[in-house]
Amino acid sequence: MRLAFLLVALSVLPIPAFAQANQSFVQGFGGLRLADAPSVMPTAGGTVGVGLTSHIQVIGEVGHISDVLPSAIETLMTVSPVTIHRSALYGEGGVRLNTGPAGHLGLYGETLFGAARLNTSVSGLGSARTDAITNFALRFVNTTSQVGAVGTGVILQGGPVVATIGYRFTRFFSDNVLDALLSAAGHSDINEARVSFGFRF
């Protein structure tokens, strides 16, 4: 209900000339992973964009995804006493293309590439002490992975306020032993629905 109210408010705010010409922005975002058993708000972070033209922006993003395990592993965990948790702290840079505002609405497409720190933990191995020892050992095999993403969605703006509603596909690449065990494909894919709010400047 609050989200719907904010979007309606954006649609009735005036659009001054500077907001139409200046495409630089800063936004905070949250997302929901689209999977068989989605987690609640597994993604959060911030994005900064610098307008090169009215339709092209260079963007930088930092964020945290709390669940990057492949869906097959998550399904297996539902019938296993052992739980594996894997999260990622990442940073990316890339380019966003947009149609420019038509009234209060616009469309965008983006592509990004960067690096992510993958952190793995386990529980349910039999005792709290065993879990603690195992998680301490896992710190030495946590790795930095390359990450790439593409996304698209709708831009809503009113005055200096801007919001986006969109889809993001993210892939984590890695070639270490732990990743090979957790994903036969050698990578983890994340499909995400995302909402962002921020300001143009």
Domain boundaries, the chain: 2-200
Between 68 and 80, the higher pLDDT residue: 68
DSSP 164-188: EEEEEEEEEE--SHHHHHH-TTSEE
Which range of 13-22, 90-99, 122-131 scores highest in mean pLDDT? It is: 90-99
145-195 tens-digit pLDDT: 899 999 999 999 888 999 999 999 999 887 665 665 665 555 678 899 999
Top-level CATH class of 2-200?
mainly beta
94-129 tens-digit pLDDT: 999 998 767 788 999 999 999 998 888 777 777 777
Closest among 24, 47, 55 to 94, alpha carbons compared: 47
Closest among 197, 166, 201, 187 to 71, alpha carbons compared: 187
Q: Which amino acid is it at 140?
A: F
Q: In degrees, to the nearest 5, what angle opens at C-alpha 147 toward C-alphas 141 and 148?
A: 165
Closest among 172, 169, 170, 168 to 146, alpha carbons compared: 172
The pTM of this model reads 0.77
